[in-house]
Structure formats: structure tokens, C-alpha cells
Amino acid sequence: MDTLAIPAKNTHKVVINEASRKQGINTTKPVKANSTTQLERVLERGFKTTLKHGFLLMSGLLMVFPFIWMLSGSLKSNDEIFTNPLMIIPSTFNWQSFVDAFNSAPFGLYIINSFSVALFTTLLVIINSAMFAYAITQLKFKSKTFLYFVVMGCYMLPGAVTYIPSYITLARLGLLDSHMGLILSNAASVFGVFYLRQVFLKIHPSLIEAARIDGAGELKILWKIILPQCKAALATLFLITFITNYNSYMWPSLVITSQELNLIATGIRQFFIAEGNYGLNWSQIMAASTIAVLPLLVLFILCQKTILTGITNDNGVKE
């Protein structure tokens, strides 16, 4: 009698399936989600994306609206500003407001003053912050952690608290009513120390040790090893510090009393209250404010990728 040969592999499957049926185990594969469930998921994902982008769009519009309104007001006449304050597009573009604003006050000089003070202050902040951050991250000495916390504790103090002692110090040094007094009084930044410390901690210690074995000094290590790996972070700190000092108003208004030494913020205030016309020439005030903001706006647009790279990306060499 002929026998039917069953392959061992198929026999194994039959035995497993038979045993599974006896134990009541369902061996069938799970059924895929139907088209209705998939459609609901797609719609839910699309709704969340639309809601997120709508929120970001509204937030962006709220932030940019003051600048748009200021630019619009600079192109209107005074009568049109008060007649249609929310009308963004003016009926006639009044470019004469910019000419009148430049002729009424030396805004070109104010912008140059602000750029020079902000530039030299920023360079000193980067140098001081880099050296201090290097000391508390790469050098070994007692109480460096305590020193760091003392410095960070100063960051919690309001800026106005330091005005009186700083003013007295500048008066004793004979640096009142001078750009040098502004630069030296802002030459240290707690934020710069904190920011660069976090960046320097990511530098691989073996690089520092190898440089020291080769005979490099601490300043050479900082200049040749550390700083080249932190270019994005340095650029970010440069831009943030520069913009902060360029827009500074309260402290320069206390230190500077000569009109030819005014920065752009204090210069706009003097123009705003000049000759008793407090708040009357709104079109010229808007034009002057636009002139003051445009250089920083262009600078930020050109360097926004660098700022985001320095904030979000890791710097340095890791293990």
C-alpha cells in the first residue's frame, strides 16, 4: 500500500495548529485598521497641525504688528494717524517724514554713537566672559563652584540696584558724560559667563590635556583650542549683547548729558520732547523710531541662522 510522505516542516505546522485549536488559541493574524479609522487619524493629525501653525501665526503677527504699525505711521500724515489709526496701508505714502526727522535731529550721529558703544562693549564682554568661563570650567582651584554660584546670584539682582554704586564709581573716576564710562560699566556680563560656561563644559577634556602636554599655556589653549570650536555660540553672544547695548536707554540717559554723545534711544526721547512738541509730530516720531530699528532688523535677519544654531546646536567635541 502506497504511503503519502508529508514534509517534516509542514507536519510541524499541522501539529502546532492542531494544538492551538485544542487550547482555544487564535492563530490568525490581526486585521488591519479599516479605512474609516485611518481617515480619522489623518484628520486628527491634520487638525493638530493646523491648530499649532495657527497659534504660531497669531503669535508672530502679535509680535510683528507694533513694527508694522510704526512703519505705517511713519508714512502717514499726523491727521491720517489720528483719523484712521488701524489703517495699515496709508492713502498716500509720505516719505517726507523721514527727511524732516533727519533734518530735525542728528540721528546719523546717534546711530554711530550707539554702534560704537555697543561694538566695543560687546567685544569686552566676550573677552571677559570667555576668560572667566574658562577659569571655572578648565582650571582646578578651591571654591570655584562657590565662586560660580556667587556670580550667578548677582544675576538675580535687578539692574536698577547697580545704578547708584556704578554712578558713584564713574563719578570718582571722572568718566561721567563719556562713552568710555558706558563701555567700562557694561564690560562684564553674568549672562555671558553663564552661557559660555555651558558651552565650555562640552569641550572634551582630552583636548585640553593634550595641549598642556605639548606645552601650550592657558591663554593659548583658550584662543587656539576652545574658542574655534565655539564660533556659533560666540556669534550668538555677540549679537545678543550688541542688540542689548544698542537699545539701552535707562543707564545711558543717566550717564550721558551732552547732546552730541547721546545714543539713539536717548536721542529719540530728546527729539520726542524737543521744543515743547511733546507727542505732536507723531509721523516724524514714527519715522525716527523706524530709522533706529532698521539697522538691528537687518542685522538680525542676516544672522538669525547663526543665532538659532548657537542656541539649539551642541558645541564642542564629545566622547
Could you tell me if 145 and 208 lie in one domain? yes
Q: What is the structure's pLDDT at 318?
A: 45
Rg (CA), the chain: 32
How high is the pLDDT of residue 157? 81
| Tens-binned pLDDT, residue by residue, of the chain (319 aa) | 444 444 444 444 444 445 445 555 454 544 444 667 887 788 888 888 889 889 999 998 888 888 888 888 888 888 888 887 778 888 888 888 888 888 888 888 999 999 999 999 999 999 999 999 999 888 888 888 888 888 888 878 887 888 999 999 999 999 999 999 999 999 988 899 999 998 998 888 888 888 888 888 888 888 888 988 888 889 889 988 999 999 899 999 999 989 889 999 888 888 777 644 555 778 888 888 888 888 888 888 887 777 677 666 554 444 4
- Whether 53 and 110 map to the same domain: the answer is no
- Is 269 found in the same domain as 150? yes
Domain-located, residue 88: no
Same domain membership, residue 176 and residue 56: no
What pLDDT, on a 0 to 100 scale, did the predictor assign at position 156? 82
Same domain for 134 and 68: no
Inside any domain, residue 319? no
Same domain, 240 and 127: yes
Identify whether residues 267 and 158 lie together within a single domain: yes
Distant-in-sequence, close-in-space partners of 277: CB < 8 Å, separation ≥ 6: none
C-alpha pair distances (Å), 27 with each of 18, 65, 109, 120: 10, 63, 84, 76
* CATH number for the domain harbouring residue 166: 1.10.3720.10
- On whether residue 26 sits in a domain, the answer given is no
Tell whether 71 and 207 lie within a shared domain. no
pLDDT of residue 117: 95
CB 157 within 8 A of CB 190: no
Is 171 a member of any domain?
yes
Residue labelled with grid coordinates 554711530: 112
pLDDT score, position 231: 84
Q: Are residues 54 and 174 in the same domain?
A: no
What is the 3-state secondary structure of 240-264?
HHHHHHHCCCHHHHHHCCCHHHCCH
Q: Which residues have a Cβ under 8 Å from the Cβ of 123 and sit 6 or more positions away?
A: none
Provide the pLDDT for residue 256. Answer: 92
At 204 the pLDDT is 84
Amino acid identity of residue 280, one-letter, is L
* Count of the separate structural domains present in the chain: 2
pLDDT of residue 276: 43
HSE-CB for 98 with a 13 A CA cutoff: 13
Q: For residues 118 and 266, state if they share a domain.
A: yes
Is residue 39 in a domain?
yes
Residue 134 falls within a domain, yes or no?
A: yes
Which domain range does residue 76 map to? 35-83
In angstroms, the CA 246 to CA 183 distance is 12
Among residues 23, 51, 83, which one ends one of the domains? 83
Per-position b or e across 253-267, b if 16+ CB within 10 A of its CB = eebbeeeebbbbbbb
Provide CB contacts within 8 A for 220, sequence distance 6+. Answer: 211
Rounded CA-CA distance 54/117 in Å is 40
Same domain, yes or no, for 132 and 59? no
Q: Is residue 92 part of a domain?
A: no
**Is 203:134 a contact under the CB 8 Å cutoff?**
no
Same domain, 179 and 64: no
Nearest to 133 by CA among 64, 70, 191, 204: 191
Hey, what amino acid is at 104?
A: S
Cβ atoms 89, 107 nearer than 8 A: no
Residue 257 within any structural domain of the chain: yes
